[in-house]
Amino acid sequence: MSDSVVGYGTRLSSLAAQDGDAPAVTCAGATSSSVSRVELDRIANRTARLLAARGVRAGDIVTLALPNGIPLVTYCIAAWKLGAVPNPISHRLPAPERDAILERAAPALLVANESGAPTRWPLLLSGTEPPPDDRPLPDAIAPHERALASGGSTGSPKLIVVKRPAAWGAGGEVSPLAPRGCVLVPGPLYHAAPFGSFTQALIAGVEVVVMERFDAAQCLTLIEKHRVEQILFVPTMMHRIWRLPEAERTQRDVSSLRIVFSGGAPCPPWLMRAWIDWLGPDVMHDIYGPSERIGGTLISGREWLARPGSVGKPMSGARIRILDPETLQDMPPGEIGELFMMPPQGAGTTYRYVGADSRSIDGGWESVGDMGYLDPDGYLYLTDRRTDMILSGGRNIYPAQIEAAIDAFPGVLSSAVIGLPDDDLGNRIHAIVQAGELDETALRAHLAAHVAGYCIPRSFERVDFPLRDDAGKVKRYKLREERLSTTEAQRTQR
């Protein structure tokens, strides 16, 4: 690498030297806390020495089972300062899921809040006091910026190790979408989009406000308080904010917002249009790209109004093909198929899996299982995941489209659509709906105006708990397994 390229740790030390008193990170939650650039750099230097004393070396993976907060941020930076790779995971994972990820990560060290973690892996409790030495460390560049876990649609965990090193260097034109001002990160850092948003802002020297856990009302308060300029939401967060009482939503001053991204899942067109009407077409953007970084698209609010529902055209030199998932033949414009992508640097340049094999075809084109179509002008429209598609009565049915229509019904907070076995249709469509009350007749009438008749669920189930996590993810396979096991238990008891 060029002499002008330095590791993330050295970059953060340089920022601290430039303006040490500038705010670096604020964590908002049950108890808010903030650190300046110099404070963050010093504690990260101390923490890096603690990790080194526990055996962490350059290239090692450090698994961080911690909630969003200053400690998690500090340990990520400390790992980078040693040339190690941070691997944030949810601190709420059940032991079997956590252990499955650890098997794949094989970390040099596991950092957790509780001592009940498995003893097979070297363990460091997050409250351990680091040594007092806070002097700068030699420059080190981690070979991988991050290693994040993903269960995909099957529940079998894999590690996505990005090949991009944790390096900062001069050169290249700064994108108008680059973080400036203050960036709010509302999602958990163990997911790719929040982690990327956090990292880009931190390394650019931009103040970052990290939410301990997403709350719609608190989110608006933070935007107003910190004069937030940029934020990336998953549609679930946008939906929760939109469902706030209008008086509560509009009383907050959100005029500081310069760029709002929707990403992580298909955004229902009604919801994107509502946000464009609220914040303006120059603020709203929709962005798409898998954690594997094999390709991505972007669309501005103004473009979206001309092509409602699109997530835009490929950006940064990436290429996209739409193929029949069975024959792997190219599909014509307007026909739904499986997305295969090629990064600008060529096949195999952006990531590697641990614990899974990639889905690829001749020439190195890869797919993560997303389905969609291209219009004649090359704009992409997403439908759903290949593994979530329901085959019912010989028709391919995409849950995300039905969920978008259900979520637009008054009183609905979230929904999930799954297929359950049916002797006649093969699978019948079953909708699980989070709502206080549910008028099934009115909901059916609403759906009849928004989706094809064969897409209207045969059965509805009301629940009082969220169906998506704070990152906007829904585990349809798990919801289906739970209902199948309940049905089987009821059958055997007869």
Q: In this predicted model, what pLDDT tens digit does every residue of 381-423 receive, in sequence order?
A: 998 777 787 878 777 788 888 999 999 999 999 999 999 988 7
Position of tokens 């590791």?
7
pLDDT on residue 426: 80
Question: Which tokens belong to 453?
Answer: 């008749």
User: Does 321 score more than 90 pLDDT?
Assistant: yes
Residue 300: count other Cβ atoms within 10 Å of its Cβ. Answer: 17
Instruction: Please provide residue 87's backbone torsions phi and psi, each rounded to the nearest 5 degrees.
Output: -130, 80
Q: Which residue has the tokens 């500038």?
A: 22
Are the C-beta atoms of 120 and 101 separated by less than 8 Å? no
Phi, psi of 352 (to 5 degrees): -140, 145
Q: Which two tokens stand for residue 186?
A: 């509302």
How far apart are alpha carbons 141 and 165 in whole angstroms?
7
* Mean per-residue pLDDT of the chain: 91
Give phi and psi for 451, each to the nearest 5: -135, 165
| Distance spanning both ends of the chain, measured CA to CA | 69
For residue 10, what pLDDT band results from cuts at 50, 70 and 90? Answer: very high
| pLDDT for 45 | 98
Four-point Cα dihedral 151, 152, 154, 157, nearest 10: -20
Q: Which residue has the tokens 């050295």?
A: 10
User: Concatenated DSSP letters for 296-357?
Assistant: -EEEEHHHHHHSTT--BEE-TT-EEEEE-TTT-PBPPTT--EEEEEE-TT-TT-SEEEESS-
The rounded distance, in Å, linking the Cα atoms of 188 and 350 is: 22
* Per-residue pLDDT reduced to its tens digit, 259-299: 999 998 888 899 999 999 999 999 999 999 999 999 999 99
Contact predicate 62/75, CB 8 Å: yes
**Mean predicted confidence (pLDDT) in 329-350:** 95
User: Distance (Å, rounded) from C-alpha 299 to C-alpha 177?
Assistant: 12
Smallest CA-to-CA distance from 183 within 171, 173, 196 is with 196
pLDDT band (50, 70, 90) for residue 433: very high
Q: Is residue 173 scored above 70 in pLDDT?
A: no
Q: What is the DSSP letter of 318?
A: -
Average pLDDT, integer, range 66-82 = 97
Q: Is the pLDDT of residue 490 over 70?
A: no
The pLDDT value given to residue 151:
60
Beta strands in 377-439 (DSSP E): 380-385, 390-392, 395-397, 412-422, 426-435
Q: What SS3 class is residue 155?
A: coil
DSSP 330: B
Contact 149, 87 (CB under 8 A): yes
Output the six-digit token pair for 472. Answer: 């906007």
Q: What is the pLDDT of residue 128?
A: 94
With a pLDDT cut of 70, the percent of the chain lying above it is 95
Cα–Cα dist 207/463, whole Å: 39
- Look at residue 117 in the predicted model and tell me its pLDDT: 61
Average pLDDT of the segment spanning 344-358: 93
Average pLDDT score over residue span 96-116: 90
* Residue 489: pLDDT over 70: no
Domains and CATH numbers, the chain: 10-374 (3.40.50.12780), 389-493 (3.30.300.30)
Asked whether residue 437 carries a pLDDT value surpassing 80, the answer given is yes
Q: How confident is the model at residue 468 (pLDDT cuts 50, 70, 90)?
A: confident
Cα distances (Å, whole numbers) of residue 446 to 271, 409, 410: 16, 7, 10
121, 107 in Cβ contact below 8 A? Answer: yes
Mean pLDDT of the region 333-355: 94
Mean pLDDT value of segment 3-19: 93
Kindly state the helix (H) or strand (E) to which residue 486 belongs, with its residue range.
Answer: helix 476-493
Mean pLDDT score, 72-97: 94
pLDDT confidence of residue 3: 57
DSSP state at residue 307: S
**What does the alpha-carbon distance between residue 3 and residue 11 come to, in Å, rounded to a whole number?**
13
CA distances from 146 to 197, 248, 354 (A): 13, 38, 13
